[in-house]
Amino acid sequence: MQELPDLSQLSHSEKDDLIRLLWSMLQSQAKQIAALQAQVADLQSKRNKNSRNSSKPPSSDGLNKPAPKSLRIAGQNPTGGQKGHPGSTLCQAAQPDKIVIHDVPDQCKSCHLKLPFAYVAETRQVFDLPAVKYEVTEHHSMQSICSCGHVHTGQFPAGVNATVQYGPRAQAAMVHLNQNHAVSVQRTAALMQDFFSLPVSQATVVKAAQTGADLLRPTVQVIGQAIVGSVVAHADESGLRVVKKLHWLHVLVTDTLTWMGCHPKRGGQAFESLALLQQFKGVLGSMTAGYPTKPWRANTPCATNTTCAS
């Protein structure tokens, strides 16, 4: 670092040059400080933005989610159930499934005389789940040979196709957990073991879901065609992950019917593949926008959809 020159030895012109140099340096530093302050303010503003005070999605909040703000005014209503609220509680059943008698001794503990008849002093009920375990039904196909040589063999009922298989109720439970309650395939198999002691593989859960989709395919087609023939319908799509890739769940609904179809695309390619919107000739409204859009007018035949509808 250079030492400060002896100002007493400088001429007036040299002092003027030094002053101009220092002034220019001060101006440059002032500009740099102002730029850094603006940058810090901008970074702080971005850091303080979240899904509540900006257009950022809630997923971008991460672990620093803003505290929820209740619209309830403190002290406006008392805590607990409000006046007029019907409420609900566990009530005793009129017809219990099982009664356990807790009887009195034969003799009095005080005077040792024989006690007279006993009566019910109090009843208490316990609501619980019974011990559930899978049951195995074995089917025997009988056979008889007539004296003429003709062989008669009993026929197994419909659905009994293999030497060992899962029944319809067990498969329905897998589909209900995996599809309706969105339980993963792995956890569905574990729950079947935990709840019913029934060993189930993940492949069995997937097969049960596909079997359910095959059985419901005619119903899905009827629902889709019924919505296509309606006067007013609503459409929307939501993103979801299928094998770690983004897909879209397209829905077409009325006040009583819901049709759903999954497709990798969101726009026209999905409409052509699912082939329902092209047939719709009524008023189509967006479920999110809340206003009717331009009606579709086309005569493309409906394609087969393998997804389930409710």
pLDDT at 1: 57
For the cut 60, the answer to whether the pLDDT of residue 39 exceeds it is yes
Tokens of 116: 């007279």
Vertex 264: Cα angle to 260 and 269 (nearest 5): 85
CB of 208 closer than 8 Å to CB of 175 = yes
Instruction: Work out the pLDDT band at 227, boundaries 50, 70, 90.
Output: very high
For the cut 60, the answer to whether the pLDDT of residue 18 exceeds it is yes
| Rounded distance between C-alpha atoms, residue 134 and residue 126, angstroms | 24
pLDDT top residue among 204 and 9: 204
CB of 115 closer than 8 Å to CB of 104 = yes
- For residue range 230-258, list pLDDT tens digits in order: 999 998 888 888 888 899 999 999 999 99
| Rounded distance between C-alpha atoms, residue 228 and residue 297, angstroms | 11
Question: How is the chain split into domains, by residue range?
Answer: 168-211, 217-293
- Provide the sign of the torsion angle of the four alpha carbons 52, 57, 58, 62, taken in this order: negative
CB of 186 closer than 8 Å to CB of 174 = no
pLDDT at 295: 41
Q: Which of 86-90, 215-219, 270-274 has the lowest mean pLDDT?
A: 86-90
The closest alpha carbon to 199, from 233, 174, 230, belongs to 174
pLDDT at 6: 78
pLDDT at 70: 74
